[in-house]
Amino acid sequence: MEKTEVAIADEKFHESEAIGKKSNFCTTNKCSFILLVIIAAAVAACCVIIFTDKELRTKRQYDPSDLEWWKKTIVYQIYPRSFKDSNGDGIGDLKGITGKLDHLTYLGVGAIWISPFYKSPMRDYGYDVQNYVEIDPMFGTMDDFDELMKEAKKKDIKVILDFVPNHTSNDSEWFQKSRQMDTEYKDYYVWSNGKLNKQTGKYDGPPNNWRSVFGGSAWTYDDQRGQYYYHAFLETQPDLNYRNPKVLKELKNAMTFWLDKGVSGFRIDAFKFAFEAKNLSLNEDLPQVKPNEIAKWSDEQPHNYTNNLPELYPIIKDWRKMFETYREKDAISRFMSVESTGITQDIRDQYYQAGSVPFNFDLITSLKSTCNGLCFKEIIERGINDLSEDAWPNFVMGNHDNHRVASRMGLDMIDVMNMLLLTLPGTPTCYYGDEIGMVDVNYTFAESKDPAGLNFGQDYWRYSRDPERSPMQWNNTLNAGFSTGRPWLRVSPDYSSKNVKTQKESNRNTHIQVFKKVAEIRKLPSFQHADIQFSVTNENFLSYVRQAEGRPKYLIIMNVGLIKNAVSKADFTKEPVGSSKGQVVAITGTIDVALGSELNLKEVSLKRGQGLIIRVYH
């Protein structure tokens, strides 16, 4: 692979540091002779040590080339219906993604995670799958998908699919046959007669108090079958019965179908809900609901009978075993990440041990606009501390279910948040549009589409996920270049100034240019490992060092203080930096410092929302 300018500069800097600067030290003949004798003795001693110590011979310089591909790349999530519309119907599609692969190459992205495009009635916008091996016509055809795979391969971009194995649509053939008590399918879902009234001897309500994530009871009565079925989400999303081996075989067949088409892995949606307690009469210890109030679900509530049951891990191990059969054929690993909000460290470790990467959502769920540098440090440490050696860290900054980072943290924090994500250890996952600083769009109730919000009536705005799903802003033409038709959701009103084309062509250091620069730096060996050393961290500053053995040392400094426009100063020369000077290799958009310039680390001044990456002098 051709080396980037950043990589070449990294190597040259390391070479120059190794050689050192010329000086007038020891210029007399006598001094030179003594020095020559000392050097010769030192060289001889080193040769003896090096040639008799195999470990020293092989570990002089860290080489990340053997790392699995997903440990070295940025994962970029695409919500397909909002990314790019190719046919003017107002809905993004597969051809739209193919047409924008060059954008991902520009950013330095090596993998895309695509939200569901399977056949679906779209009551939850694709997360209610009707058929796992068919493409919904609104997104295109199987030929379109094959073309996407072909073009992505040319550009060395891996494709990760969003797999939704916890539930299907109630329009699924499986569910319809299960309702009809078809012998083959009757146990594909979780069914119950309901709660037995001991006085009447009849069933007169749901079997327990389990709640739907979207509000209300997680049980719905089906007139045709005469039983209740369980649904952790919408009543149109019945949960599959993972205690039925036939269901597990169906899901493996679906995954195999896409793996055979060349996908590089899956993001497993809502997997912590996959198993429920066998005893369906057990109630969870949930807060009481007031009259006329919709029962609400949250991660903070105890869900001992419906979340993260131990039966999950053997399923992951079995899937991992299947993935390894593909690796044996082509020596390329397959990626498996698991959606895992609200989990303990112990559960996190079990997901890792089973063979998956549990998504770390702490930069979304725990990082608040009230966090200072110490808070940032605590959250980062929680994501990497006590991981086993084979557990690779990861950080997620945004997704289709949470408010955009620019809206959560503030417009002045866009660049430092992207700098943070791309310089932390492990695999970073970013969300489409965050590279240009897209913000939430506040839709009216009439404009809203998301059932998670609409189910709560006029309180929809508290729960709706529409704001973070607005169409991608490509340029300043009609509908931000997303579609020539009427977009399924209104485009953000700031698109004329905030879009890909304008930011790429600007002479200023725009959000997208900062993202691209830091993404290039992230490919350097010093960033391709799991270690981090924190430097000055206080109420205003978050700083840390990234360095691999035998490689240049990099210092990342960010002002994440709470007071806007406030300038803070600090001395960054102490360990682990151990130097008074360095060269500036990346800056956020508002800093008056030239790239490539030398910086005195004794006194660095930054405003809130400003950040630097510095290659440290030895």
Q: Residue 57's pLDDT is what?
A: 42
Residues 547, 525: Cα–Cα separation, whole Å:
8
Q: Quote the pTM value.
A: 0.92
Say whether both 121 and 143 belong to one domain. yes
Say whether both 362 and 432 belong to one domain. yes
CATH of the domain at 571: 2.60.40.1180
pLDDT tens per residue across span 350-364: 999 999 999 999 999
| pLDDT, mean of residues 245-256 | 98
Helix ranges (H only) for 130-287 are 142-154, 173-179, 245-260
Listed residues 478, 513, 548: the one ending a domain:
513
CATH of the domain at 230: 3.90.400.10
Q: Residue 618's pLDDT is what?
A: 84
- Whether 240 and 247 have beta carbons less than 8 Å apart is answered as yes
Q: Residue 196's pLDDT is what?
A: 85
Is residue 28 over pLDDT 70? Answer: no
Q: Is residue 552 part of a domain?
A: yes
Listed residues 259, 286, 313: the one ending a domain:
286
- Mean residue pLDDT of the chain comes to 92
Say whether both 478 and 559 belong to one domain. no
Q: Is residue 24 part of a domain?
A: no
Q: In sequence order, which residues have a C-beta less than 8 Å from that of residue 556 and are 6 or more positions away?
A: 419, 420, 423, 543, 544, 545, 546, 611, 612, 613, 614
Q: Is residue 16 part of a domain?
A: no
Say whether both 364 and 476 belong to one domain. yes
Q: In sequence order, which residues have a C-beta less than 8 Å from that of residue 261 and are 6 or more positions away?
A: 145, 146, 149
CB atoms within 10 A of CB 176: 13
Share of the chain above pLDDT 90, in %: 83
| pLDDT, mean of residues 197-206 | 86
Is residue 30 over pLDDT 60? Answer: no
Note every long-range contact of 204-211, with CB atoms under 8 Å and residues 24 or more positions apart, other chains counting: 207/280, 207/281, 208/280, 208/281, 208/282, 208/283, 208/284, 208/305, 209/283, 209/284, 209/286, 210/276, 210/283, 210/284, 210/305, 210/306, 211/284, 211/286, 211/295, 211/296, 211/297, 211/301
What is the tally of structural domains in the chain?
Answer: 3
Q: In sequence order, which residues have a C-beta less than 8 Å from that of residue 156 and are 6 or more positions away?
A: 110
Please report, for residues 263, 415, 417, the alpha-carbon distance to residue 515 in angstroms, rounded to integers and kept in the order given.
26, 7, 10
Please report, for residues 321, 411, 522, 528, 529, the alpha-carbon distance to residue 546 in angstroms, rounded to integers and kept in the order given.
34, 27, 10, 9, 9
Number of H helices, E strands in the chain: 18, 23
Per-residue confidence band for 51, with pLDDT thresholds at 50, 70 and 90:
very low
What b-and-e string marks burial along 332-347, b requiring 16 or more CB atoms within 10 Å of the CB? ebbbbbbbbbebeeeb
| pLDDT, mean of residues 69-89 | 98
Q: What is the widest separation between alpha-carbon atoms in the chain? A: 111
Say whether both 219 and 363 belong to one domain. no
| β-strand pairing of 394-396 with 427-431 | parallel
Per-residue confidence band for 29, with pLDDT thresholds at 50, 70 and 90:
low
Q: Which residues pair with 372 in a beta bridge?
A: none
Residue 111 burial (C-beta neighbours within 10 Å; 0-12, 13-18, 19+): buried
SS3 sequence of 369-388: CCCCHHHHHHHHHHHHCCCC
Say whether both 181 and 112 belong to one domain. no
Q: Is residue 34 part of a domain?
A: no
Say whether both 217 and 253 belong to one domain. no
Q: Is residue 505 part of a domain?
A: yes
Residues 251, 246: Cα–Cα separation, whole Å:
9
Q: Is residue 18 part of a domain?
A: no
Residue 52 burial (C-beta neighbours within 10 Å; 0-12, 13-18, 19+): exposed
Q: Residue 342's pLDDT is what?
A: 83
Q: Residue 386's pLDDT is what?
A: 85
Locate 373 and state its tokens.
Answer: 């540098």
Give the residue from 202, 194, 276 showing the smallest Cα distance to 232: 276
CATH of the domain at 489: 3.20.20.80
Say whether both 77 and 218 belong to one domain. no
Listed residues 448, 482, 513: the one ending a domain:
513
Say whether both 372 and 464 belong to one domain. yes
| pLDDT, mean of residues 167-186 | 98
Q: Which residues have a catalytic role annotated?
A: 269, 339
Say whether both 495 and 576 belong to one domain. no
pLDDT tens per residue across span 104-149: 999 999 999 999 999 999 999 999 999 999 999 999 999 999 999 9
Say whether both 252 and 331 belong to one domain. yes
Q: Is residue 265 part of a domain?
A: yes
Q: Residue 52's pLDDT is what?
A: 47
Say whether both 176 and 217 belong to one domain. yes
**Would you mind telling me the total number of residues written for the chain in this entry?**
618
Which residue range is the domain that position 563 belongs to?
531-616
Q: Is residue 525 part of a domain?
A: no
